[in-house]
Amino acid sequence: MATVLVTGSSSGFGELTVKTVAAAGHRVFATMRHVHERNADAARRLSTWSRENGHDLSIVDMDVTDEESVQKAVQRAESRAGSIDVVVNNAGASAAGPLEAFSISQMAALLDLNVLGPMRVNKAVLPAMRARRSGLIIWITSTLGRVLPGRGGLYPATKWAAEGFAESLHYQVAPFGIDLVILEPGSFPTPAISKSMPAEDRQVVAEYAEATPPADRVQPAPDYQPPNPQEIADAVLRLLEMPAGHRPLRHVVGPVFTDGVAEYNATYERVRANLEASLRRPDQAITWGRR
C-alpha cells in the first residue's frame, strides 16, 4: 500500500484519480484549494464516498500557488502517514485567446499554476523522498505540451514549460531512486473547459478574430464516443503499481489528440541520446567562451 497525494482533486482527472487509487487500497490525501468555500461540495462528496466505501482518503486543503498552503498540506500528510510515496501533480487550468490579448499578469498567473505549482509541491516532498531514496512523482501535462497544433496559445506554452521542468527533474532525482513520469493526456471531456481563463483584452481578441479565418468545425461521426477521463485515473494507478526504476519518462494516454505523440517522444529520445553521445566526440567539443 502506498501513500499518495494528489493535487486538484475537486473535479475531473483529480477526482477520478483519488477515487481509483483509494479503491485499489492505497492511502490517499486528496488535496484541493478552498475546501470550506468554493470546493466545499466536492470535499463533502468525496468524504461521504470514502466513508461509505471504507477507503482511506483524507481531504486536505492545498492551493498550489500558495507556498504556505503547500508546506502545511505536505506537513499534515507526512505527519499523519509518516511519509508520502507518490505525488500526482494534477492541478492546472487552461486559457483561451491570442497571446497578445492576455495581460502579463494573466500569463504569470497561469505559469504560476501550471509550472510553479507542481514545483512548489515537489520541493516540499523531495527532501523526505531523497532521504528515503524512493518515491514517485507524476506530472500531468498534455499532448499540447509536446506539439502545437492550430495557432498554439498560452495554455500549451505553459505545458511546454512544465515538460521542461518535469524532464529536468526526472534526470536530477533519478540518482536518489525517485521516479518521475510525465503523463500526457490527449483531449478529454472534463470541467476544464468551463474553468478556462479568457484573455483580458477583448478588443485585441476581436481584432485577431477578424483577421483569422475561423477554424474548420467538423461534426462528430454518428458512432463517435467521447473519450472517458477515467483512462487517466487508470493510467496513474498503472504507473503507481509498476516496479520502481522501470517506469517510462513519458506516457501518452487517450484516443483523441494523441496521434503520433508517442512516436514523436520516441524520436525525441533518440535525438537526445545522440546529442548526449556527441558531447563525448572531439569534433563536437563544446568550446563556449574559449577561443
Ligand X SMILES: NC(=O)c1ccc[n+]([C@@H]2O[C@H](COP(=O)([O-])OP(=O)(O)OC[C@H]3O[C@@H](n4cnc5c(N)ncnc54)[C@H](OP(=O)(O)O)[C@@H]3O)[C@@H](O)[C@H]2O)c1
Which residues make up the interface to ligand X (CB under 6 A)?
A: 7-8, 10-14, 32-33, 38-39, 63-65, 90-94, 113, 140, 142, 185, 187-188, 190-192, 195
Minimum separation from the CB atom of position 90 to ligand X (A): 5
Quick one: which H or E segment has residue 265? helix 261-278
Which CB atom, from 93 or from 237, has the smaller least distance to ligand X? 93
CB of 232 closer than 8 Å to CB of 188: yes
DSSP state of 114: I
Grid-cell match 478556462, residue found: 196
Which residue's Cβ has the minimum distance to ligand X?
12
Phi, psi dihedral angles at 87 (to 5 degrees)? -120, 130
Which CB atom, from 3 or from 69, has the smaller least distance to ligand X? 69
Round to whole Å and give the CA distance between 123 and 49.
Answer: 31
Round to whole Å and give the CA distance between 50 and 61.
Answer: 17
Minimum separation from the CB atom of position 38 to ligand X (A): 6
Give the catalytic positions in this structure.
155
Minimum separation from the CB atom of position 244 to ligand X (A): 24
Round to whole Å and give the CA distance between 60 and 226.
Answer: 32
Determine how many CB atoms are found less than 10 A away from the CB of residue 100. 11
Cite the beta strand spans of 39-84 per DSSP E. 57-61
Minimum separation from the CB atom of position 74 to ligand X (A): 13
Minimum separation from the CB atom of position 189 to ligand X (A): 7
Which CB atom, from 187 or from 228, has the smaller least distance to ligand X? 187
CB of 289 closer than 8 Å to CB of 221: no
Q: What are the strands of the beta sheet with 250-253, ordered from one edge?
A: 57-61, 27-32, 3-6, 86-89, 135-140, 178-185, 250-253
Which CB atom, from 3 or from 7, has the smaller least distance to ligand X? 7
Round to whole Å and give the CA distance between 189 and 76.
Answer: 33
Round to whole Å and give the CA distance between 9 and 158.
Answer: 20
Which CB atom, from 122 or from 142, has the smaller least distance to ligand X? 142
Which CB atom, from 163 or from 179, has the smaller least distance to ligand X? 163
CB of 240 closer than 8 Å to CB of 87: no
CB of 14 closer than 8 Å to CB of 8: yes
Minimum separation from the CB atom of position 256 to ligand X (A): 8
